[in-house]
Structure 1
Amino acid sequence: MDAAERRIRKAGYNGFSFREIAVDVGVKNASVHHHFATKEVLAGAVARRYAERFERAVEKEEISGNTRDEAWHRVFRNALLDDGQMCLCGVLGAVAASLPAEVATEARQFFERGLDNLVSGGLSRAEAAQIFSTLEGAMLLATAFGDLAMFDLATTGFATRTSLTST
């Protein structure tokens, strides 16, 4: 699943095959098929795991004292610091219309749960959508430029902006 996640985040759903995953992991193709019957099942499982890990990271940031919107900002930025790649569900969401239903559903659920999480933190649905799109867009810019500074530039004043909108 780690190998599939790396490949999806780098090249999208169509940017990997079972054969490539098997080579990355050092196993036979049949071993990958043994655990995941189809590419759709593998990609869906990877997206679900990514979303769960992302949500746990947001919770951890909140426990350490950050507001909900600050927590989301920190998790997105930390993801770029860790590996410089796009949000997996952002990559999948960008091509959702061309994805198999199972994979598109997992990507959409990441966004639905994220918006719900931000709303439950006191933001309106519109504010939550603005924050989410700002963070995904900032990640896209930073990835396209290969420069974390673009994320910081795109989110300049983020804490100020979000605290003003939620009062």
Structure 2
Amino acid sequence: MNDIAEAIMNAAERRIRDAGYNGFSFREIAADVGVKSSSVHYHFPTKERLAAAVARRYTERFQAAVIAECEAGADTAEAWKRVFRRTIVEDGQTCLCGALGAAARDLPQEVAVEVKRFFTSGIEMLTDGGIERGNAIKLFATLEGAMLVANTLGDTGAFDEAMAAAR
């Protein structure tokens, strides 16, 4: 992927995390990147393709971070907690797929598929790591919910409070 396409995806990711799928336009992305709107369309012919590509990339990066935590010695649940925590506390961002997932029924099919993949593959990674499916879903929901509460309150410490209460 070239630098312009990467910059377009970065700008789209920031806007999606801030305002959801409907919170950006190609014109805004072009202005963010410093290119013409036609350049955004050249790399991503539709808004659906751009958002799907951003969600796919996010899933891959997130899962790579979880795998790195496991390889560093964390158990599966702790690895997921660390990556979610780093996202909200250290990076000051919400989960991209969580933000999109809140409106999953209203997303275009191509985007909804990628968002669903984040959730289903995450649950599969947790179960593959030895966590019973019901507990994996509970942990995933708790992580997403704790992030949502922390973001809404503007208090990243709420994430840690929610995780401590969930034990």
Q: How far does residue 157 in structure 1 lie from its aligned partner after superposition?
A: 5.7
Q: Is the 8 A contact 1:138 1:150 kept in 2?
A: yes
- Counterpart pick for 1:143 among 136, 147, 151: 151
- In structure 1, runs of 5+ residues without a counterpart are 162-167
Counterpart residue number, 2:34? 26
Matches of 1:25 and 1:131 in 2, distance apart? 37
- Deviations 1:8-37, CA, capped at 9 Å, x for gaps: 011000000000000000000000000000
Q: Percent identity?
A: 60
- Counterpart pick for 1:37 among 45, 48, 52: 45
Secondary structure of the structure 2 residue equivalent to 1:155 = helix
Matches of 1:153 and 1:34 in 2, distance apart? 45
Matches of 1:122 and 1:87 in 2, distance apart? 24
Matches of 2:68 and 2:165 in 1, distance apart? 23
Counterpart residue number, 2:87? 79
Matches of 2:65 and 2:58 in 1, distance apart? 11
Counterpart residue number, 1:16? 24
Query: Once superposed, which parts of structure 1, at least 4 consecutive aligned residues long, lie more than 2 Å away?
Result: none
Matches of 1:98 and 1:41 in 2, distance apart? 16
Q: Is the 8 A contact 1:84 1:146 kept in 2?
A: no
Matches of 1:157 and 1:114 in 2, distance apart? 22
Counterpart residue number, 1:62? 70
Secondary structure of the structure 2 residue equivalent to 1:31 = helix
Give the total of aligned pairs: 159
Letter in 1 for 2:83: V
